[in-house]
A and B are shown apart, each in its own frame.
Chain A
Amino acid sequence: MTITCAAVVGRANNPLYLEACKPASDEEVLKYHYVVHCALDTVEEKVALRTQPGEIADSYLGMLYPTEDHKVYGYVSNTSIKFIFVVEEPAPKDEDMRALFKRFHAAFIDVVSNPFYEIGQPITSTSFDASVRTIVTTV
């Protein structure tokens, strides 16, 4: 399994962070944007289905949808922040993906804890970028 793209999407479905995890051309980066943007449809659908009354929702959404070359996995926080990984074959195990997303979420919490970070704005923190790269390279 190789994670080729990691993205964080805000509660207003605005991109906060989207980075190709391996060298990519402009076309590939644009393709990742399209993939992540289209994945938000599935995220909204799964979030709407999982929120039954009295149910403790699982943040991990599983595989959102496959593309020609990749599979897209999603995770949503309690504050409706979406975390998305675009993964190359072979398909990973859910437990592995769940652990990766938790680390991704923790890195995001670290960056929003920075008092100089403005909530809802794109993340430009280099430490967050380094944390994400560490996460995706230790798969």
Chain B
Amino acid sequence: MDAYPAEIVTPPLALMALLGCPELHAQMHEYLRSHHKPPINSVGVANPLDVGRVFGERKSPLAAGQPAGILKADWFAKHRQRRPAVAVLLIPRAEVEGAPDAWQRVSAQVGAVRGATRAQGARLVLVITSGSSAAGAGHVEGPVQEERVSTLCRQGGIERRWVATLAAGEGEAGLRRVARLLHEAAGQFYLDDSRRRLTLHNERRNPPADLNARVAFKAAALSEFRGDWSTAVRSYEAAYREIAKAAHAPGSAGLQRFFEIAAVAELMHLKVIMLLLHQQNTARALAQFKDHLKLLKKKEAQPSFFQNGAVQAAIKRRKLGETLRNSPSKASLPPGGSVGPGAFVGQLVMTQPGGAGGPSVRKLSDAEFLAHLEAKECSTDHGALAVQCLQRAEEFAEAAREQCHYSALVATEHRLAGNPAIAKPLLESIAGVYRREGWRVPLSGVLQELRLCSKALDLTQDVVAAALELCVLQDRLDIGLRSALAAEAALFLAGAQQSLAFTIDDSDAHPLHGCFALTWGFEDAESSPAESSEQQGTGEPGPRFVTALWSNVPCSLHVTSVQVAFITSRGTHTATASVKPLDRGALQKPPPPSAEPQLDAWGQATEEPSDEAATAVTEASSGFLLEPGRWVVAFAQAPNPPNGKIGVQAVTLRLGQGSSSISWPLATAKPDTAMIGAVADNMEAVLAPLARLAATQGIKVEAGAASLELPPSQSPPQLRVEALGYAIAGEKVAKQLSAGGAKRMRAWVDVPVKGQLHISACLTSTSDEGETLTAEASLEVTVERPFQVATHTSGPARTSTLLLPISALPETTDAPLLADRLPVGQACLLSVDLTITAPAPVVIMSVALEPPVGVESSAVQVLQSLGTVSGGTGAPVTLSKGEAHTARFVIRADSACTAALVGEVAVTWKRPKPARRRASSSMLPKRSSRLISSPRASLMSPNALPSVPQLTQQLSQQQPQLSHRRSSSLTHTPTAAAMTHQMAVNQLLEDLPEDIPGAGMHPPPQPVTTKVPLPRITFAEPGIVATSSWPASVRTGEAFTLDIGIANRTQGLQRVQVAVGDTSGFVFAGDRRRMLALQPQSSTHCNLQVVAHASGPLPLPQLRLTAPAHDSFLDILAGHTMVVLPSPISHVAAA
């Protein structure tokens, strides 16, 4: 809108001519302009007799035919600034009512004004003023003489209502009244003028479209003057339609004609749009936009794209201007002539100096018009216009990416306009956006602009950076251009004129992230090559730092050296790395800088690198070529860190003459970052050798630094702890300590019953520099139980004892009723079952029953040891996990006793062979042990003594009667299980020979005796004793008597039921169930007549005695058999 004149884009205001009384002009002008709504413009004429120069003469109507133009260029300005609608004649009251000469002067002024305004049809308003200095000294108050007023109206040809009075005492109220009258008069004038023009135009026959448009436009403008907006819109739209007709009419194909129509149409379109938008009629405004674009043959677009369309148009215009400026043949205007705007809108005229008649003005020919346009375009600053348009579009853009796009265009225009300093920061920010989102094609365009800007600003480093980044973008630029860019960058890097330094961090958005790739790590000391061992032998055991380099730049870069900056507690140390290619041919001889014989990268003369040379490691003193698509590995010897900790600060490539560098600050790398940069092409293929390298090098990166734990330079305290893979409860574990690789010691550690055995060792040493170093190593050993013990007791054969409860005996959970009682005075059997639970075989050497500890005379006697079942007496037997070993003992008690201690089962066992080594912990670099530079106390307390394992027994009843089974297991108590078995072994260390590697690691197995306390047994007199007797042998069919004797040894009556059960093989005669009543201290017999009908060893019939009052029973014949011989009768019969 700024391109249009103010009279077009602002609403028109009525214009008044203030005549006479010049002292009132300023006051009235100020009020009409600032306080009245709507404002009214005014011009002042001091002498009313000069009014003729204001209104002028009316022009004659147009003749028939085509007018010279569509719309006068100054018509709007003329009516707003020079053609008043109302002539306001200010008459002092004193002159109206004064002397005759004054009255005659007033009459003359009214007549002159009337004559002047009659031609234009302007309205006349008379204002009789009073109270001012101009009114004269002799003015009088009260109404004006009406006769004089009537006379003035008659002379001016106006009605009485167009005469007003304005007294000085009225102030603003008087001015408001006059202003309203003037506004009404102006509205009348514009309305009458519009009607007059339309009437006149309607009288024309077949008026041309240009004239129709002109009349409609003027009618609209006059409506706008009087504030009739709806009529104004309708009239402007009608005018625009007429212009559209004129554009499509024959004869309008000329360039100047189209230029004029386009200019007028643009003006009318602007007025229509402004009024419609002011009325908030958006739909009609959009329709007008479409009509206008269609008229000018422009493509329709959404309003949201207007800014983009303006941007594209501005860029196209700028390009056209450049083309015109660079065109060798330019059209020229006639000499001496000047082209300027004509009298009509959109017309240009040529003004040439003429003769005596003055300069001649004529229309331009088409050639002259084109020449003028061309010259005008050439003189226009299109760059500034384009930048202005783009900046406006950028301001209107709401979305970030759209703004980014416009910013790129703005930056380009700035560069073309010669402002690279403004363009460069814009381009850098835009490049960051595209780089971050991976839009490489737009990025390449931005980088090209950035490179040109940097070049214009003579910023070599930025030029090289842009070139390097550009040359690795393969999406848009061909290989030729990329190679040229790379060569340019390489030339700058190789030159010694300027020092260029690039730093590539681990950010993906870094400009050179895609140009190079670097990975690094420390070499594992155990897998270090020969040269590393050699260096260790020379007393410099510092590790080697390994870094691999990759270049995506499509040209070879001459690298002078690879430098690695290490950082230790002493400071920074820089080492030059030796280089080696991962694939053959990656290293080639650098171009010789001089004619002198040069050594290649392998330290050889001018020969091509051989296969052997390609695998060798050499110093990079002479430099090498870093070629695209190849890995190059560089090794750097790290210094000895004083405290065993070292970090890598940076890796730096020295390029060319050594003044330029590319560095990677590793100290800021993220944890676990293995690579900085990206590798182009096939990642899998190129990373395969690097993965192998990383696997062997053991890359380790810590937050903020790449660090490695190293043994100190003086007396490195290496500490290794070794022990058996698992321990068996009760034995001692040999723990071997290896200090410094030479000193070996061993200590025996008691093993807890169950759980984890945590073994830790602490080695404290003092270096020559007086620094105390502490090394720690630890190991955990799992403790297993050797076996599980179960006991089984039984009474003597053929004597069954029904033990009844004795009230004198306490009932305990450990000795349930009838569970652990044996008869007094009888030899009983005690069986001990060992079930191996250790994961490895165990050799059982002996099992013995020992008397209880601390008891002088036990009530229980061990009569006989029946030896072992599986291995025989005294013979060691090797048992694996799950196998059982049984030992039996005959015991007897002569008197009744309660919970008598039987003794302990002493099992002597050992391991058959040493177990395999499970794990080791060493102080070799980065594997296990840590070096802590600060002195610290040992984690083991010297007061921590080995605890004695406490054993509990788990009892399980297998049979409720005389035969019952118990099991004991080696377990901790709940509190003991959670304890950590600790002991100080500082005083128990024993030295091992140094010349035998591994000596003492597997000492011969030592016998271990594990004692298991047996459960307590109660020996008591039986309440009811049953005896049974039967013949040793019978024949089939022969009857025999099964005698059952039952004795009641209690002091009360006992009822015993005798029940016969299964009698397989025998025929039984009599009642199967009998109830016997036994008097106190009495006995009775129960005879059963039985006949065997089968032969062979037959189990005796099932016979159960039950004491219902005590809920006890006894199968007295269970497990007994008798031999039944065949019948002789059958034998005779057979004979």
Contact = CB atoms under 8 A, between A and B. Distances in A.
A41 B438 contact: no
B99 interface: no
Contacts of A69: 299
Given A38-B401, A38-B405, A68 B438 contact: no
3 closest A-B pairs by beta carbon, nearest first, are: A41-B399, A14-B438, A66-B302
Given A12-B437, A33-B442, A34-B442, A68 B401 contact: no
A68 B305 contact: yes
Contacts of B309: 68
A133 interface: no
A15 B401 contact: no
Contacts of B400: 41
Contacts of A42: 399
B308 A34 contact: no
30 contacts: A12-B438, A14-B437, A14-B438, A15-B440, A29-B441, A30-B441, A30-B445, A30-B476, A33-B439, A33-B442, A34-B405, A37-B405, A37-B434, A37-B437, A37-B442, A38-B399, A38-B401, A38-B402, A38-B405, A40-B401, A41-B399, A41-B400, A41-B401, A41-B402, A66-B304, A68-B299, A68-B308, A68-B309, A68-B312, A69-B299
Contacts of A26: 476
Determine the interface band of chain B, counting residues with CB < 8 A from chain A. 20 to 34
Contacts of B441: 15, 18, 29-30, 33
Interface string B387-411: 0000000000001111011000000
Interface string A5-34: 000000011110010000000100110011
Nearest to B304: A65
B301 interface: yes
A127 interface: no
Nearest to A40: B401
A18 B309 CA distance: 24
Interface of B: 299, 301-302, 304-305, 308-309, 312, 399-402, 404-405, 434, 437-442, 445, 476
B272 to A, nearest CB: 24
A67 interface: yes
B399 A67 contact: no
Nearest to B438: A14
A40 B442 CA distance: 14
Given A30-B442, A30-B445, A68-B309, 8 more contacts: A37-B405, A37-B437, A41-B402, A65-B302, A65-B304, A65-B305, A66-B305, A67-B308
A: contact size bracket: 20 to 34
Contacts of A12: 437-438
Most buried by B among A12, A30, A68: A68
B439 A37 contact: yes
B476 to A, nearest CB: 7
Interface in A43-81: 45, 65-69
Nearest to A10: B438
A45 B398 CA distance: 11
A12 B442 CA distance: 17
A37 to B, nearest CB: 5
A133 B350 CA distance: 58
B494 to A, nearest CB: 31
A61 to B, nearest CB: 15
Contact of A66 (B301, B404, B405, B439): B301
A119 to B, nearest CB: 14
Contacts of A29: 441, 476
A124 B90 CA distance: 89
Interface string A76-103: 0000000000000000000000000000
A45 B402 CA distance: 13
Nearest to B443: A33
Contacts of B312: 68
A26 B477 CA distance: 10
Nearest to B445: A30
B942 to A, nearest CB: 60
B297 to A, nearest CB: 14
B750 to A, nearest CB: 58
Contacts of B434: 37
A30 to B, nearest CB: 6
B301 A68 contact: yes
Contacts of B401: 37-38, 40-41
